[in-house]
Amino acid sequence: MPPHATDLKYRALLEISEAFIACRDYDSLLHTLWESLLGLIPFDYLALVRYNKLQHTARLEAFAGDIVAKAPLRQDLPIEGSPVEILLETGRPLYVPDLSREPRFRPDLMENFRAYGIRSGFWVLLERGEKRFGSMSFASQSLDAYGPEDRELMEHIGRHVTIAVENALAFEKITELRKRIEDEKVYLEEEIRSEYRFDELVGNSAALRKVLKQIETAAPTDSTVLIQGETGTGKELVARAIHQLSGRSHATFVKLNCSAIPSGLIESELLGHEKGAFTGAITQRIGRFELANGGTLFLDEIGELPLETQPKLLRVLQDGQFERLGGNRTIESDFRLVAATNRDLRAMVNENAFRRDLYYRVNVFPIVIPPLRERREDIPTLVRYFVQEFATRMRKPIESIPAESMNALVNYSWPGNVRELRNVLERSVILTSGTKLRVPRDAFDETASQNGGVVSMEEAERRHIVGALQATGGVVGGPKGAAALLGMKRSTLQSRMAKLGVTARKN
């Protein structure tokens, strides 16, 4: 061999081992190999095969060649009758100078070689110690393409490739582990629900647990319960839970939404009416008070009850007696009242928009449901719960929620509370096609834009801090941290963050 050829080969080896350092997968490995060996070793086809010891299978991870072939890429195939089997058995490289006369290969492999015009090939086992990673192969359309020196060089290269494959596999494992840590898994609904006797109220924050405790306390009594909370916080769910856990659960739960009915009709809805009681009363009608006899009457949006109707409700609550409109028979009904409102009833009393006496009569056992932004710990659980619900309904195999999406969901202000969160997740599940949930970016701006984009000072501050944390990759302190960026002291920023419920981890 002329000396410059040896030189070239060693330079190539050096180049390869250096280039391999950057390779983190089979494809880039093969690509590097191809580039550095071109002109040095005659080959028409290059391949990397991965061996699975447990399954005793081999899969073609990457291949390249002048032949445009439909090789069965990334399929687990049996190793019987393949070069890998021979490599594993003999523990030595395999050289086949004339493939048409090789009796040990499977017919389908032989057929592939024939189809690609491959006539000779060289295989090296990629192994280190007891570990067998797979094989690297060179093949040529010429007969007996590889002399002893070529084979020696290929064997040598094989050792470098082994290290690179080991690295790639380790990197693959790290990536997988990291994904597993970062992505929130979607657990089965049962796991989420099983903590309580409450079927539908999901969440584990101290704030929600307090609400659940209050439900348990109030339910068995016959006291009137007043549920207060912003829109979408779950007031109706709480009302139903109270009914379910009460001694009246076998009887009906009757609901009347005071804001959904024209004020002139509310009275007849509650009291019922006799035929001909007023224009339009063509038949007799049983009211909600009567329907709820033995059960629970849920007066939703009680703050919208017209002022003139309020004394009538008060009287019924005090006496348990009333007459249908247009009737003169006294009717008795034994119902338990649960009322809900998203208005500040006490303030309404002070403004004479709600009767004080009725307020006291209704506000016997108050339950206040905090808005979602004040109990962000509940968000991940709710997210998994709703994703599970919709994925099951839409038959989608969603397995995980990307960490960035979960962070965005946790940090959003949710002006529409749980209802809004639920809607966003329904939309996300519709948009998802793989196993990873896809949360649309615009999901979080909808309500803000409904208010002309104006948010509260607190919300603006929160978003500003979240933005700074995003810019610094979640770093709070130090010269490149969010505190420096915002011109604040680290401790000041941290206390603001705690107050606003902003977390630092990779916002």
Asked if 201 touches ligand ATP (CB under 6 A), the answer is yes
Region binding ligand ATP by CB under 6 A among candidate stretches 136-144, 226-234, 264-272, 283-291: 226-234
Query: Minimum CB separation from ligand ATP for residue 205, in Å?
Result: 10
Query: Taking CB under 6 A as the rule, which mask of x and - marks residues 380-409 in contact with ligand ATP?
Result: --x---------------------------
Nearer to Mg ion, 302 or 387 (CB): 302
Judge contact between 159 and 181, C-beta under 8 A: no
Nearer to Mg ion, 230 or 378 (CB): 230
Show the beta-strand stretches assigned E in 269-405.
272-273, 285-286, 296-300, 321-323, 330-332, 336-341, 365-369, 400-401
Asked if 229 touches ligand ATP (CB under 6 A), the answer is yes
Region binding ligand ATP by CB under 6 A among candidate stretches 201-209, 243-251, 438-446, 456-464: 201-209
Phi–psi pair at 463, nearest 5 degrees = -65, -35
Close Cβ partners of 360 (under 8 Å, ≥ 6 residues apart)? none
Nearer to ligand ATP, 121 or 229 (CB): 229
Close Cβ partners of 444 (under 8 Å, ≥ 6 residues apart)? 408, 412, 424
3-state class percentages of the chain: helix first, strand second, coil last, to nearest 5: 45, 15, 35
Asked if 232 touches ligand ATP (CB under 6 A), the answer is yes
Asked if 481 touches ligand ATP (CB under 6 A), the answer is no
Amino acid identity at 7: D
What sign does the CA torsion over 75, 81, 85, 86 have? negative
Asked if 404 touches Mg ion (CB under 5 A), the answer is no
Asked if 236 touches ligand ATP (CB under 6 A), the answer is yes
Asked if 234 touches ligand ATP (CB under 6 A), the answer is yes
Integer CA distances (angstroms), 202 to 382, 413, 418, 439, in order: 6, 19, 10, 21
Considering only residues 177 through 206, tell me which ones interact with Mg ion, judged by CB under 5 A. none
Query: Minimum CB separation from ligand ATP for residue 367, in Å?
Result: 11
Contact with Mg ion (CB under 5 A) among 15, 155, 236, 399:
236
What sign does the CA torsion over 187, 193, 194, 195 have? positive
Asked if 422 touches ligand ATP (CB under 6 A), the answer is yes
**CA-closest candidate to residue 338, choices 241, 446, 209, 261:** 241
Contact with ligand ATP (CB under 6 A) among 59, 119, 132, 235:
235
Per residue, the 3-state secondary structure of 439-450, as one string, reads CCHHHHCHHHHH
Q: Which two tokens stand for residue 288?
A: 């909600």
Contact with ligand ATP (CB under 6 A) among 418, 424, 475, 497:
418
Distance CA 469, CA 63 (A): 43
Show the beta-strand stretches assigned E in 55-130.
57-65, 77-78, 94-96, 120-128
Largest CA distance in the chain: 122
Region binding Mg ion by CB under 5 A among candidate stretches 142-150, 227-235, 371-379, 459-467: 227-235
Asked if 135 touches ligand ATP (CB under 6 A), the answer is no
Query: Minimum CB separation from ligand ATP for residue 136, in Å?
Result: 55
Residues that contact Mg ion, how many (by CB under 5 A): 2
Asked if 342 touches ligand ATP (CB under 6 A), the answer is yes
Choose the contact partner of 9 out of ligand ATP, Mg ion, none; CB within 5 to 8 A by kind: none
Query: Minimum CB separation from Mg ion for residue 232, in Å?
Result: 8
Judge contact between 367 and 223, C-beta under 8 A: no
Asked if 226 touches ligand ATP (CB under 6 A), the answer is no
Asked if 200 touches ligand ATP (CB under 6 A), the answer is yes
Asked if 379 touches ligand ATP (CB under 6 A), the answer is no
Distance CA 216, CA 326 (A): 40
Query: Minimum CB separation from ligand ATP for residue 238, in Å?
Result: 7
**Which residues of this chain interact with ligand ATP, rule CB under 6 A?**
200-203, 229, 231-237, 342, 382, 418-419, 422
| Chain residues that interact with Mg ion, rule: CB under 5 A | 235-236
